[in-house]
Amino acid sequence: MNLESLLHDRLAPALDAVAGHPVDPAVRSSPHADFQSGAPLALARELGRPPREIAAEVAGKAGLDGLATIEVSGPGFLNLTVSDSLLAEALRATAADPRLGVPAVAAPERIVVDYSGPNVAKEMHVGHLRSTIIGDALARTLDWLGHDVIRVNHLGDWGTPFGMLVEHLVDRGGAADHSIRDLTAFYQDARATFDADEDFRTRARLRVVALQSGDPLSRELWRKLVAQSEVYFLDVYDRLGVTLGPDDFAGESRYQDDLPVLVAELQARGLLAESDGALCAFPAGFTGRDGEPLPLIVRKADGGFGYAATDLAALRHRVATLAADRLLYVVGAPQRTHFAMVFAVAREAGWLPDGVVAEHIGFGSILGPDGKMLKTRAGDTVKLAAVLDEAVSRASAPAVGIGAIKYADLSGDRRGDYVFDWDRMLAMTGNTGPYLQMMHARARSILRKAATAPGEIVPAEPAERDLALTLLGFEAAVTAAARFAEPHRLAGYLHELAAVFSGFYEKCPVLRSADAVLASRLGLTELTARTLHTGMFLLGIEGPEQI
Ligand code: ARG
């Protein structure tokens, strides 16, 4: 049961009556009372009346029916204290519910979550890590809330580099699989040959044309490269505990046949103009530093299609064929303008109707200890596989190492950068993954040692009441994380829950109590363990029984 929204609903009519229009009661949990509303303060400014007077009037009108007591505090806040019977009832309902009081959404949406999106024949680097981790947490959370989630892995599997790669594979004897087992080395070799050899460059260019016009041998070799990469990516997802599977790959190449149609449609709507031989859209409201309209290149001067064209085609497909209601693109902050322009052109073209929401879920960079983009000591980009190896070797168990990386990524506002610091993220104390896992394991250990079953929760001590109210905040945290696509809201909640639980068992011995008190404390412990476990699951973090 979401007490916050229950009190919100009780307070709203009183505020509306005083204001003469709808007012958001802004009920929040607070250190000064169970909940607090600051709405009278804003209303007082609007009405030009003393805030405490407004607060008193609202308190007098609020129909709380004994669910809570209300009192004016400070400059004009309303403090709400939930009645013992409401608290007990809310806890009973939550504990009895396998979904911990979080109902499935009444109107499920079809939500496409575009995440990970690594590039074929290139090793995944830490930059792809954030997209993969954040995207997976969002997909899991939306899924669990009852939405119809379609995971899409928009693989970079097309474009000019493949001319070079396929040609290199031909030179290497083509079919020999061992030559592409180490794809990164293969890519680097191809690149070096391309840079050094004029004849190879010419052949690579012809190969792109052959590949794009469907030449069977070129296609077969390209397929091999893609397949080899997919095996590698799936292995990374598996190690990371990420829910992307083989059926979720929908790379750029999928949209090749749509591209000429797309150009024709844009042309028919008068949305394309030629600029230096390229066909560009100039969506309204986008200008460069010089004040000139900013182009989105749809077809390049050489006739090829690039990243923007593929994204337009993918969006059109997601709305028209997949019937999506909401599109999330979990991609780094540098692509902000790219997506804003793609969405704008899609709206102008009629591919993105008003009812469909498209959002770029941007995120900041991972920084090294020097505060600059994370690099190896030699100055290279850090390979994801190496990071995972190190996490597992530094931690007591793979679940702890991987959980630490994920939690470090998810616990801050995604828009910010963060410093990659092994010691900090693996610490057993503080706002870390291992701390959550340890608190969960501690709760499970108490439950294993107990001779009796958890019973009805009847909070008496302040620390019990504190834990009870925190447990009831789960729904608000999950819902907010989903609505704003901000996993840190859930992470922050789980950290708070773990910390409040730790305060609880220090002040209120569980196993050394007896009878109804024991049963109630075991009930709190059990509900804490389940809430932590479910919350970590939604973030993609394992909660082992013991760590
Ligand atoms: N392959 C791209 C990159 O590595 C990410 C793809 C993101 N998704 C998209 N629909 N553009 O930068």
For 150, 222, 322, 325, 488, the CA distances from 112, given in Å and listed in that order, are 5, 27, 9, 8, 21
Q: What values do phi and psi take at 273, rounded to 5?
A: -135, 150
Strand partners, 27: 37
H/E element, 101 = none
Contact 338, 143 (CB under 8 A): no
Pick from 311, 317, 351, 366: nearest CA to 335: 311
Q: What is the dihedral of CA 109, 115, 121, 123, to 10 degrees?
A: -150
**Residue 226 burial (CB count, 10 A):** 18
State whether the beta carbon of 154 lies less than 6 angstroms from ligand 1: yes
Atom number in ligand 1 closest to CA 155: 1
| pLDDT given at position 143 | 98
Provide the pLDDT for residue 389. Answer: 93
Q: What residue owns the CA closest to ligand 1's atom 6?
A: 117
Ligand 1 geometric centre to CA of 154 (Å): 6
Ligand 1 atom at minimal distance to the Cα of residue 119:
1
Backbone phi and psi for residue 428, each to the nearest 5 degrees, phi listed first: -85, -10
Give residue-wise pLDDT tens across range 399-444.
999 999 999 999 999 999 999 999 999 999 999 999 999 999 999 9
Ligand 1 in reach of 44 Cβ (< 6 A) = no
**Ligand 1, closest atom to CA 332?**
12
pLDDT at 362: 97
Indicate if ligand 1 lies below 6 Å from the C-beta of 233: no
Q: What is the three-class DSSP state of 166?
A: helix
Backbone φ and ψ for 269, nearest 5 degrees, come out as -90, 5
Tens of pLDDT, residue by residue over 82-101, are 999 999 999 999 999 999 99
252 in ligand 1 pocket by Cβ < 6 Å? no
Residue 397 Cα to ligand 1 midpoint, Å, equals 32
Q: Is the CB of 331 under 6 A from ligand 1?
A: yes
DSSP, res 159: S
CA 341 – CA 85 distance, rounded (Å): 54
**Structure pTM?**
0.94
- How far, in Å, is the centroid of ligand 1 from the Cα of 483? 23
**pLDDT value at residue 176:** 55
Q: Are 412 and 418 in contact (CB under 8 A)?
A: yes
Ligand 1 touching residue 119 (CB < 6 A)? yes
**Least confident stretch, 170-174, 455-459, 474-478, 518-522:** 170-174
Q: At what angle do helices 183-196 and 161-171 cross, to 10 degrees?
A: 100
Under the banding of pLDDT at 50, 70 and 90, the label for residue 385 is confident
What is the mean predicted confidence (pLDDT) over 352-369? 96
- Give the closest residue (by CA) to ligand 1 atom 9: 154
Amino acid at 225: L
Tokens (6 digits) for 387: 């990071």
What percentage of residues in the chain have a pLDDT greater than 90?
87
Distances (CA, A) of 219 to 126, 186, 487: 30, 18, 40
State mean pLDDT over 351-361. 97
**Is residue 509 exposed (0-12), middle (13-18) or buried (19+ Cβ within 10 Å)?**
exposed
Check whether 237 has a pLDDT greater than 90: yes
For domain 3-82, give its CATH number from 3.30.1360.70, 3.40.50.150, 3.60.15.10, 3.30.110.30: 3.30.1360.70
For residue 454, is pLDDT > 80?
yes
Distance between CA 230 and CA 120 in Å, rounded? 8
Sequence ranges of the chain with CATH classification 3.30.1360.70: 3-82
Cα 367 to Cα 383: distance, rounded to the nearest angstrom: 14
25 lines ligand 1 (CB under 6 A): no
Residue 314 alpha carbon, nearest atom of ligand 1: 10
pLDDT value at position 329? 98
Average pLDDT, the chain: 94
The helix (run of H) or strand (run of E) holding residue 18 is: helix 3-19
57-71, 313-327, 346-360, 380-394: least confident range? 380-394
For residue 180, the model assigns a pLDDT of 65
Q: What is the pLDDT of residues 484-498, one digit of tens each?
A: 999 999 999 999 999
Mutate to test the pocket of ligand 1, among 120, 126, 130, 154 (most ligand atoms within 8 A of CB): 154
Report the pLDDT value the prediction gives residue 517, as an integer from 0 to 100. Answer: 97
pLDDT at 446 over 80: yes
- Ligand 1 centroid to 333 CA: how many Å? 12
pLDDT digits (tens, 9 = 90+) for 4-57: 999 999 999 999 999 999 999 999 988 889 999 999 999 999 999 999 999 999
Ligand 1 atom having least distance to the Cα of 339 = 11
pLDDT reported for residue 175: 60
How much distance in Å is there from the Cα of 116 to the middle of ligand 1? Answer: 8
Tell me, in angstroms, the distance from the centre of ligand 1 to residue 361's CA: 12
Measured from the Cβ of residue 420, the count of other Cβ atoms closer than 10 Å reads 19
412 in Cβ contact with 426 (< 8 Å): no
Q: For residue range 69-86, what is the model confidence (pLDDT) as tens digits?
A: 999 999 999 999 999 999
Mean pLDDT of 97-120: 96
Query: Ligand 1 mean position to 153 CA, how many Å?
Result: 9
Region class of 158: left (phi > 0), else alpha (psi between -120 and 50), else beta = beta
| Cα 80 to ligand 1 centroid, rounded to whole Å | 47
β-pairing verdict for 148-152 and 110-114: parallel
Residue nearest to atom 7 of ligand 1 (CA): 117
Return d(Cα 447, Cα 441) in angstroms, integer: 10
What is the pLDDT confidence band of residue 131, given thresholds at 50, 70 and 90?
A: very high
Does the beta carbon of 82 lie inside 6 Å of ligand 1? no
Nearest CA to ligand 1 atom 4: 118
Nearest residue to 235 (alpha-carbon basis) of 389, 84, 127, 5: 389
Q: How far is CA 303 from CA 159, 163, 346, 409, in A?
A: 12, 15, 21, 40
Asked whether 157 lines ligand 1 (CB < 6 A), one says: no
The Cα angle at residue 375 between residues 373 and 378, in degrees rounded to 5: 145
Q: How far apart are CA 195 and CA 269, in angstroms?
A: 41
Q: What pLDDT sits at residue 449? A: 97
Q: Residue ranges of the alpha helices (H) in 395-545?
A: 398-410, 422-426, 433-449, 462-471, 474-483, 487-507, 515-539
- What DSSP designation does 275 have? E
Indicate whether 381 pLDDT > 90: no
Separation of CA 114 and ligand 1 centre (Å): 9
Q: In angstroms, how far is the first alpha carbon of the chain from the final one?
A: 31
Question: Considering only CA atoms, which residue is closest to atom 11 of ligand 1?
Answer: 311
Q: What percent of the chain has pLDDT over 70?
A: 99
For residue 207, the CA-to-ligand 1 centroid distance in Å is: 24
Over range 267-282, report the average pLDDT: 96
Query: How many C-beta atoms lie closer than 10 Å to residue 61's C-beta?
Result: 14
Q: How does residue 177 score in pLDDT terms, banded at 50, 70 and 90?
A: low
